[in-house]
Chain A
């Protein structure tokens, strides 16, 4: 070809142009751009086969086919790998056209190349982004459609652009349903206006929302849902804004909260109707509820009492101890109990038992407490205690008086007896009845002496009623008593037999045992039959495991109205001809009764009497005789 002005233009075109002549496809005209593709200048006349440059062999074959067939060929984004440091692939749109000569026969090929690398890279990038977007979209869809929530997207006008399948499952609506129209109708009538208003207000303001409402389920039941949505943070200006949100079913939680609220209300209603101070406290020890009676009693309401202000109601000297005890209970979980004085609204302090326990209720650990007014009982007990103390003191004084009196009377009596003896010795009486009268006076004096002795003895013994118990040997105690009664035994020729082996020991107070034995034995001696010497048998044995003492005599006997607890009253005597004050058996009964025991009498008039002493309601185990 000749150099034309067109050739100059062609030479500098950005597209590559080359002519290939003849069946060997020899290079003809090659412009600069094509030289880049070929990797350098192409020597004219050289067959392309010998100088393909960067063109691949398959392209050369295609060229041959185009030459022979005459059909043009176009390859879009044909990749050529150009060498060089880090040079990436370059893409060209290739066109091969047959070049016809004068007779319309193909004389060569025209090769065009256009560099489309940038476009190709952009296309590839776009493709990659598209794949990635599809992948993310799929993931999002899977997540939103498997999560047990209804998700949705709506625009600023309230039109739903997307609702997840869960919406259809929940509402039971067919897939063809018009969501925009139907959704508001499924909202509970009482909630509808509020929901629509709140949604619109949020969309107008461009903010998100969070509210609860009832939505009709497929079975007709209304369920509580929580609707939350947020506007898209990033959006291109001019494009509509979308709100993305989710609906979560909260029906069960709401029911539970309602139940707890109802339960709490019922608890408070119950607590308010009880006329006691009732309160509850958190697990940390702060009081969160005082019942109505507490406010009425104290004159302060819940706010004024506060979480720890109850301490102020207590007597000032008791506050620190109560506070310490409460903190200890909170720290350890131990129940709280104490008796404190609590100030009433009128300033009066009344005794209360305050009790509190920690229990677990629906919301966790909680303290439940009550303050019971025991002021009346407390004061009554104090009064009784005072009276008892007074009575005890009076009794003691009385005993002391009696003892002192009897003691003081002894001396004058001794004197009197002495004087009378003197008188009866020195004086002589003319009256024949004088001797009798002297005897009578003597007897009276002796009687007086005995009475005074017994009185003193009674008082002494009564004092000893609360003496400590010990393990005593019956025989040795009896022997001690017998020492004092020896004279009488010798004078009357009385005999005494002991049979104590079955139960030789006794848990008793020494003084009281001596008292009882003394009285029983001296009685047996006193009431001996005049016609025969007294024969006394003392037996100690076990009756149903309990020790029992029997004192049997062959004396005068007596009339008995009841076999058990004949009820010896002081100074009531059966045989008045026998000297004695009549306090002995009464004393025995009193002592026995104080230990829970009793006295049994069996007697036949003129033959004898058996006194059976049941020592106590229950004696500790007595070891059997060795």
Chain B
């Protein structure tokens, strides 16, 4: 099991229709290949973290980086993980017309994005917080997971 995180910039701002289509298409594809994760979008800024088997997500990332809808793709992490931190794949953005998106499967309003699950290391949780900050700005307050009560180091 691996996870990959990247940030990029949309070449043209995505409309509500584009986002709707992207969401349904991605959910379909990702469910088929057992890829979970989350995608953030706001005003042309894109960030995504997805997890799955390396044999599946490596080619997926190669395809994503060649997609003409975005540029300046910057891979942030690509490393093995012990277990999944996300149970499904979802997308968080601010639609111009919220009506119609509320019931859409896999859609999240940015302020409803849950805090990073405790299964993520603090480094990865911080990465998600920074990525969310980069996409949405300072509006959504990031929350780090509770400190772990590990033994004191010598």
Q: Does B43 contact A (CB under 8 A)?
A: no
State the Cβ distance, A334 to closest chain B Cβ, in Å: 12
Taking CB atoms and an 8 Å cut-off, the chain A residues in 309-368 that contact chain B are 309-312, 315-317, 319-321, 323-324, 326-327, 330-332, 341, 343, 348-349
| Contact (Cβ within 8 A) A317 B122 | no
Q: Determine which of A307, A321, A323, A324 lies in contact with B77 in the assembled complex, contact meaning CB atoms within 8 Å.
A: A307
With a cutoff of 8 Å between Cβ atoms, the chain A residues found around residue B79 in the complex are 306
| Contact (Cβ within 8 A) B153 A320 | no
Please give the number of chain A residues whose Cβ is less than 8 angstroms from any Cβ of chain B in the complex. 27
| Contact (Cβ within 8 A) B153 A327 | no
| Contact (Cβ within 8 A) A316 B148 | yes
Q: Determine which of B147, B151, B152 lies in contact with A320 in the assembled complex, contact meaning CB atoms within 8 Å.
A: B147
- In the assembled complex, the Cα of A319 lies from the Cα of B131 at a distance in Å of 18
With a cutoff of 8 Å between Cβ atoms, the chain A residues found around residue B122 in the complex are 311-312, 319-320, 323
Q: Does B121 contact A (CB under 8 A)?
A: yes
- In the assembled complex, the Cα of A330 lies from the Cα of B131 at a distance in Å of 11
- In the assembled complex, the Cα of A320 lies from the Cα of B147 at a distance in Å of 5
| Contact (Cβ within 8 A) A319 B147 | yes
With a cutoff of 8 Å between Cβ atoms, the chain B residues found around residue A326 in the complex are 126
Q: Does B106 contact A (CB under 8 A)?
A: no
- Chain A CB count within 10 A is highest, among B121, B122, B150, for B122
- In the assembled complex, the Cα of A311 lies from the Cα of B126 at a distance in Å of 9
Chain B binding site: helix, strand, loop or mixed by DSSP? mixed
Q: Does A308 contact B (CB under 8 A)?
A: yes
Taking CB atoms and an 8 Å cut-off, the chain B residues in 91-139 that contact chain A are 121-127, 129-131, 133-134, 138
| Contact (Cβ within 8 A) A284 B133 | yes
| Contact (Cβ within 8 A) A321 B147 | yes
With a cutoff of 8 Å between Cβ atoms, the chain A residues found around residue B149 in the complex are 317
Beyond A317-B149, A320-B145, is A284–B134 a contact (Cβ under 8 Å)?
yes
| Contact (Cβ within 8 A) B129 A327 | yes
Q: Does A184 contact B (CB under 8 A)?
A: no
State the Cβ distance, A332 to closest chain B Cβ, in Å: 7
State the Cβ distance, A316 to closest chain B Cβ, in Å: 4
| Contact (Cβ within 8 A) B153 A323 | no
Q: Mark A277-318, 1 if CB is under 8 A from B, else 0.
A: 000000011100000000000000000001111111001110
| Contact (Cβ within 8 A) B130 A286 | yes
- In the assembled complex, the Cα of A324 lies from the Cα of B141 at a distance in Å of 11
| Contact (Cβ within 8 A) B153 A330 | no
| Contact (Cβ within 8 A) B123 A330 | no
Taking CB atoms and an 8 Å cut-off, the chain A residues in 378-431 that contact chain B are none
With a cutoff of 8 Å between Cβ atoms, the chain A residues found around residue B144 in the complex are 320, 323-324, 327
State the Cβ distance, A398 to closest chain B Cβ, in Å: 34
| Contact (Cβ within 8 A) B153 A349 | yes
- Chain A CB count within 10 A is highest, among B125, B130, B151, for B130
Taking CB atoms and an 8 Å cut-off, the chain B residues in 1-54 that contact chain A are 7
- In the assembled complex, the Cα of A343 lies from the Cα of B150 at a distance in Å of 15
- In the assembled complex, the Cα of A27 lies from the Cα of B30 at a distance in Å of 92
With a cutoff of 8 Å between Cβ atoms, the chain A residues found around residue B87 in the complex are none
- In the assembled complex, the Cα of A309 lies from the Cα of B121 at a distance in Å of 9
State the Cβ distance, A183 to closest chain B Cβ, in Å: 34
CB-nearest residue of chain B to A309: B123
- In the assembled complex, the Cα of A285 lies from the Cα of B138 at a distance in Å of 13
Taking CB atoms and an 8 Å cut-off, the chain A residues in 202-241 that contact chain B are none
State the Cβ distance, B145 to closest chain A Cβ, in Å: 7
- Chain A CB count within 10 A is highest, among B131, B144, B145, B150, for B144
With a cutoff of 8 Å between Cβ atoms, the chain B residues found around residue A332 in the complex are 138
| Contact (Cβ within 8 A) A317 B130 | no
Q: Does B76 contact A (CB under 8 A)?
A: yes
With a cutoff of 8 Å between Cβ atoms, the chain A residues found around residue B7 in the complex are 284
Q: Does B55 contact A (CB under 8 A)?
A: no
| Contact (Cβ within 8 A) B148 A285 | no
Beyond A285-B133, A306-B77, A343-B153, is A323–B148 a contact (Cβ under 8 Å)?
no
With a cutoff of 8 Å between Cβ atoms, the chain B residues found around residue A321 in the complex are 147
- In the assembled complex, the Cα of A348 lies from the Cα of B79 at a distance in Å of 26
| Contact (Cβ within 8 A) A320 B146 | yes
CB-nearest residue of chain A to B125: A323
State the Cβ distance, A305 to closest chain B Cβ, in Å: 9
- In the assembled complex, the Cα of A233 lies from the Cα of B131 at a distance in Å of 43
Q: Apart from A312-B122, A343-B153, what are 5 other A-B pairs with CB-CB below 8 Å? A: A308-B77, A320-B147, A321-B147, A323-B123, A323-B125
The 6 A-B residue pairs with the shortest CB-CB distance, nearest first, are: A316-B150, A320-B147, A323-B126, A284-B134, A349-B153, A285-B130
> Can you give 13 A-B contacts (C-beta < 8 A)?
A284-B130, A284-B133, A285-B134, A306-B77, A308-B77, A312-B121, A317-B149, A319-B122, A320-B147, A320-B148, A323-B122, A326-B126, A327-B142
Q: Name B residues whose Cβ lies closer than 8 Å to a Cβ of A.
A: 7, 76-77, 79, 121-127, 129-131, 133-134, 138, 142, 144-154
